[in-house]
Amino acid sequence: MGNKIVVPTPIAGVRLTYQGQDLKRIYIHEQFLPLLQQVLDRLRLRAGLVAIETLGIYNLRKARRSSRLSQHAYASAIDLAGFRVQHLPEPIRVDRDWTTRRPFFRLLEQECLRASAGHRYEYVTPDDDPDLHNDHIHWGIWPDD
């Protein structure tokens, strides 16, 4: 499934968590890693991001509603569910704050799209697919290999 590599966390100074536990390492496609690093670094600098809650990166499975492999099968996508920002007492959560924290989510989208330039990518929000993405944002690329 392409060039998955194991990467220690944090990435770009941002912790990654899953179900409230800090991840020590992740499996990620080598083409997606620099894009994720760029987004996390820019959000750390521009918004004070210190941690993200992910629902997953690598998962060998077919895409929902499809017979083809998902971007997660290539480890070239991340599902983003929550964001811990320095100046806020509570994390920003997609399921709770999608409609009230639009400036943050616009910044996230802007940075993901900027990093994705030149790649075939997907960026799916609760507005795009409320049935399957009501609690997270899916961002990923289709690797070249």
Backbone angles phi, psi at 31, to 5 degrees: -80, -25
Looking at residue 38, its pLDDT comes to 98
Domain count, the chain: 1
CATH code, domain with 79: 3.30.1380
Residues 6+ apart with CB under 8 A from 34: none
Assign residue 46 a region (left: φ > 0; alpha: ψ between -120 and 50; beta: otherwise).
Answer: alpha
In order along its 145 residues, the chain shows pLDDT tens digits of: 569 999 999 999 999 999 999 999 999 999 999 999 999 999 999 999 999 999 999 998 888 888 899 999 999 999 999 999 999 999 999 999 999 999 999 999 999 999 999 999 999 999 999 999 999 999 999 999 7
pLDDT of residue 1: 55
51 vs 76: CA distance, rounded Å: 19
Domain that holds residue 80: 4-142
